[in-house]
Amino acid sequence: MKNLILILMFILPSVGFSQRNGSKVMDFNNIDYRLLDSLIIVEINVVRDSLGNSNMYYSRVISDNISKLRCQKLHSEQKVYHPDGRLELYSDKLESSILKESSSTYKYKGGLDVVDGYEICLFESRYYKLVTYGDYAKSIVDLWETSRDHCYVVRDAYNKQIVDGKELFLMSGVSTKYGTYKGRNGFYSVLNLTVVYNY
């Protein structure tokens, strides 16, 4: 009995950790979109870290209020494009919420202005070789890197913490939605990179 308890003490924490780090197997009947979306930011930061560039920080506020709306539009229309109206989503109230999130969640001291930076989107087909949330997150980021403009956002956009004397803090929203595009099943994905400036 003692041995069983010891074994469980070692196995259970590793199962919990493995699910947080992307090795959780994806169940297409019950997709954990929050996990997939946050792992996309993790994969982007792996790329940015390898280049010595500033990290992006996952923003639930941007994800829920910008990226999700944009992704749902692509999903419902079964198109991949940049719909009009993105700038109108950045209301004073939303910008205030983004500033609050940067302070309360990430302890960013500062933040006087919020600027809509970039939006990138795509459709990534479902491949049966991809099994885990981490597999799909990496596959989505890898696909963005095949396009010059998308690659710029993933790798180099706002790559330094201080630009023209202004301190930058990168908050990114991500949203994914499983659906069909041109007869293929897969994920619509939208990333909105937003910059918090401290003058």
Contact 196, 99 (CB under 8 A): yes
> Which of 6-10, 69-73, 91-95, 154-158 comes out lowest in average pLDDT?
6-10
Nearest Cα to Cα of residue 40 among 27, 17, 53, 59: 59
80: confidence class by pLDDT, cuts 50, 70, 90: very high
> Helices 33-50 and 148-155 meet at what angle, rounded to 10?
80
Using DSSP, state whether 30 is helix, strand or coil.
coil
pLDDT digits (tens, 9 = 90+) for 18-60: 345 689 999 999 999 999 999 999 999 999 999 999 999 999 9
Mean pLDDT across the stretch 124-144? 95
pLDDT of residue 4 exceeding 60, the answer is no
CB atoms within 10 A of CB 22: 19
Q: What is the pLDDT of residues 146-197, one digit of tens each?
A: 999 999 999 999 988 777 777 889 999 999 999 999 999 999 999 999 999 8
Task: Quote the pTM value.
Answer: 0.86
CA 121, 69, 92, 42 torsion: positive or negative? negative
Angle, in degrees to the nearest 10, between helices 133-144 and 33-50: 50
What pLDDT score was predicted for residue 199? 65
The pLDDT of residue 21: 62
The domains located in the chain, with CATH, are: 2-198 (3.40.33.10)
Q: For residues 55 and 16, what is the distance between their CA atoms, to the nearest angstrom?
A: 25
Does position 17 have pLDDT exceeding 60, yes or no? no
CA torsion angle 94 95 98 104 (round to 10): -110
